[in-house]
Amino acid sequence: MDRRSFIYYGGLGSIAACSKNDQDSISLPKSEIFRWRMATSWPPNFPGHGVSANRLARTIEELSGGRIQIEIFSAGELVPAFEVLDAVSRSTIQIAHTAPVYWRGKIPSSLIYGGIPFGMTSDIFNAWLFHSDGLRLWRKAYSAMGVIPFPAGNTGQQMGGWFNREINSSDDLVGLKMRIPGLGGEVMQKVGVLPVNLPASEIFTSLQTGAIDATEWVGPYNDMALGLQQVAKYYYYPGWQEPSGQLELIVSNEAFYSLPKDLQKIIEIACLSENSYLLAEFTMRNQQALNTLKTEHNVIIKKFPNDVLTELNKHTEIILEELSNNDPLFEEILNSYNDFLNEINPWLEIINS
């Protein structure tokens, strides 16, 4: 080997040796692990909602390769069902799986996302969220609480509720104590109902003991899981109060923006996946449960009289106008909602004709 070749190959050997020694002596930095706590507004492993929260947490962990690890606490285990928003806002916990229908006192415009009576069904609502201003305005509404909402499940159109007496006219609603949150509760109050807000874990006992006379929850699948067919005789439809039953993952700003960009994207994609999956699950299981309620439990399934629905619709319009007059953000979001609905109505008329 001549001198030039010796220097060249010797130099490569030295570089290779140095690189190997450097690799042996330098430990590469490990990916940071983010350990989060999730509180939910649901009983543990509750069919639909609770299982959805578990599945969403598992999806986030798997997509992140274990870089986000989530410990789940059901309603009451860490914080009560209706206090999860405050806990995330204070960064006591990082995330919560819940529903916007519960936040009337803290975020009035959240009622729109909980479902406007006689309003958009889930498919149209999703179009407004993702292809118009719906999601941007939702996050604007929650920004004052220091949290970010993500659509994370939808139960679809709900049933009108369980009653211990027949509803033949609006007069039959007067004086009833009914578990019904959100805008539906405010509308019911206008016709003489006393609305109360109860978490899922308290509904059965309250109806059984007579603390309430009626309740709405979700639909056949979830309602049967609560055992409501055992404590009420009449099951009414349609679910005028919640044509779209939106669920949400709320994430504290502090927790979300501490994540690198790829993990932020994983949160978004996991929620989007769960949003679609749960709606499909409810669509299938509601029919199965409805058949069981008819054939095995002899539940009396009835439609609200048309004059009752007309009365409820009239009061819905009045309440929406009152809320808009008192809250500029509510008005802004409602205007966006209505503008989108007016824009898409010609298509809806064609496909539903």
Position 13 in a domain: no
Overall domain count for the chain: 2
Residues 95 and 44 in one domain: yes
pLDDT of residue 31: 79
Same domain, 63 and 199: no
Q: Would you say residue 234 has pLDDT above 50?
A: yes
Q: Which residues pair with 235 in a beta bridge?
A: 162, 301
**69 in the same domain as 131:** yes
State pLDDT tens for residues 57-79: 999 999 999 999 999 999 999 99
Average pLDDT over all residues of the chain:
92
pLDDT of residue 265: 98
Q: Is residue 232 domain-shared with residue 262, that is, in the same domain? A: no
Looking up residue 73, the CATH number of its domain turns out to be: 3.40.190.170
Residue 280: the pLDDT is: 97
Residues 92 and 190 in one domain: no
Give percent of the chain with pLDDT exceeding 90: 90
- Tell me, yes or no, whether 77 and 216 share the same domain: no
Enclosing domain of residue 186: 161-243+296-351
CATH number at residue 344: 3.40.190.10
Given a cut of 80, whether residue 9 has pLDDT beyond it is: no
Q: Are residues 106 and 224 in the same domain?
A: no
Give the distance from CA 175 to its chain's centroid: 30
75 CB-near residues (< 8 Å, 6+ apart) = 39, 40, 41, 42, 43, 81, 199, 200, 201
| Whether residue 281 sits in one domain with residue 211 | no
pTM, full prediction:
0.89
- Judged against a pLDDT cut of 70, whether residue 13 lies above it is answered with no
In a domain, 115, yes or no: yes
Half-sphere exposure of 85 toward its Cβ, with a 13 Å CA cutoff? 19
Q: Is the pLDDT of residue 18 over 60?
A: no
Give the CB-side neighbour count of residue 44, counting CA atoms within 13 A.
6
Residue 38 lies in a domain: yes
Say if CB 244 and CB 125 are below 8 A apart: yes
Judgement on whether residues 222 and 304 belong to the same structural domain of the protein: yes
What tokens appear for 61 in the block? 């962990």
Q: What confidence score (pLDDT) does residue 30 get? A: 55
- For residue 23, pLDDT over 90 is answered with no
Check residue 11 and give its pLDDT: 45
